[in-house]
Structure 1
């Protein structure tokens, strides 16, 4: 404990001046003013850290935005994200992912990283993934929402009912798209004009109109969840997902090229 002499003013300083100096030192410094942030032309949504941060690095407005969704956002939806990004980024398509119950801040497990690299994703992109929550701004920004299972599709539609016509499970989308030829998809896009969003919306309507033309068991519209399961289950999950992404890529290319 300090002695009384230690608490007094130094030589040559009055007690009044000493009190003022102590009060001034105790006051917190004012935070530095942040520069204004203009997001008008960024094509980019900023999310707070507790929601998982930004969905992707700041970039010019994309021709199209695709959102993939699963539960934890560490296995299925990020695998779909990095694979679609590798295939479609050259077209200006932005792809990101989120989880309905995300393990925020966690990366992809090793088996998922291995499968991503084997299927053609950029390993550094896959390794950089951090899980984030599914929030309404992400849904509002998406031209297409691809969920990994029916439960996620239901979650999306409850959160934002006006995204009903833009939301499919990824295997459901592939099943419906399989009966729509590339030529028919491109014709639907051409009839909508030059705007990428309008073209893709027209193709989505054409895909949705295939309902009733394909037969399938409801469970077949889901991608199996491999989280905390064997590498064989990871491989089976990817075996369901990757062929579905082939159809997604075909339809997107038909709409944009």
Structure 2
């Protein structure tokens, strides 16, 4: 369960140079509809950005997961273009257990966020659309990260956990987007290359914002 002893997903164990494996302690889950385009792309790009921390596990799932399917070539090409590895991805359907084991959930749209909370209401505390999260933490200062700064530098899991609470605290404090759609990543499945490109243009900056914040949270310290 979240916040207690947690079983690591077998696909989310990271190999370490000095150990056979390291069991992750902070789990990020990305969610879309079929788990073949947006959520695996987000998962793979977050993995690239957060690779230095074996404490972080990443996974993805779909609200109507196209179980067993690989990513379509357009989405796989985008992943490779941005440094990801789509080769081992296999789609799966989202379950309440996945959500109970996550520390942070990134939905690809408001529709997915609603579905997540309906499936597992407790997840409302740590579920955001990925563009929403990026918007909420945009412009964060070191002073805003004082809760993370109070923790030991080696407590990566603790520092990452404070970011979830900080982002949640910004709901209602940060101006809403000009359009509600600005918190969504468009679904490119079975659509043109232009729509795939547009989807990436919406997703990649949000991923970069998340990665940047996580990196900063490991460097801040109290004066």
Q: TM-score, normalised by structure 1?
A: 0.74
Structure number with higher relative contact order (C-alpha < 8 Å, ≥ 6 residues apart): 2
In our comparison, the structure showing a higher alpha carbon Rg is 1
Work out whether 1:189 is the aligned partner of 2:148: yes
Measure the CA separation in 2 of the matches of 1:221 and 1:171: 5
- TM-superposed CA distance for 1:215, in Å, is 3.1
Task: Identify the match of residue 175 of structure 2 among 214, 220, 225.
Answer: 214
Q: Which runs of 5+ in 1 are unaligned?
A: 1-40, 46-53
240-249 vs 55-64, which deviates more?
55-64
Alignment size in residue pairs? 205
- TM-superposed CA distance for 1:133, in Å, is 0.9
What's the counterpart of residue 224 of structure 1?
186
Superimposed CA distance per residue, residues 9-55 of structure 1 (whole angstroms, 9 cap, x where no aligned partner) = xxxxxxxxxxxxxxxxxxxxxxxxxxxxxxxx99523xxxxxxxx55
Where does 1:87-236 land on structure 2 (aligned, <5 Å)?
Answer: 87-92=49-54, 93-122=56-85, 126-181=86-141, 183-192=142-151, 195-211=155-171, 212-216=173-177, 217-236=179-198
SS at match of 1:127: coil
What's the counterpart of residue 79 of structure 1?
41
- TM-superposed CA distance for 1:131, in Å, is 0.1
C-alpha change, 1:230 and 1:127, in structure 2 (3 Å) is: same
Q: Which runs of 5+ in 2 are unaligned?
A: 15-20
Superimposed CA distance per residue, residues 168-195 of structure 1 (whole angstroms, 9 cap, x where no aligned partner) = 00000011010322x2354221235564
- TM-superposed CA distance for 1:82, in Å, is 0.6
C-alpha change, 1:178 and 1:167, in structure 2 (3 Å) is: same
SS at match of 2:8: coil
- TM-superposed CA distance for 1:213, in Å, is 2.2
Do the aligned residues in 1 keep the contact of 2:186 with 2:199 (CA within 8 Å)? yes
Q: TM-score, normalised by structure 2?
A: 0.84
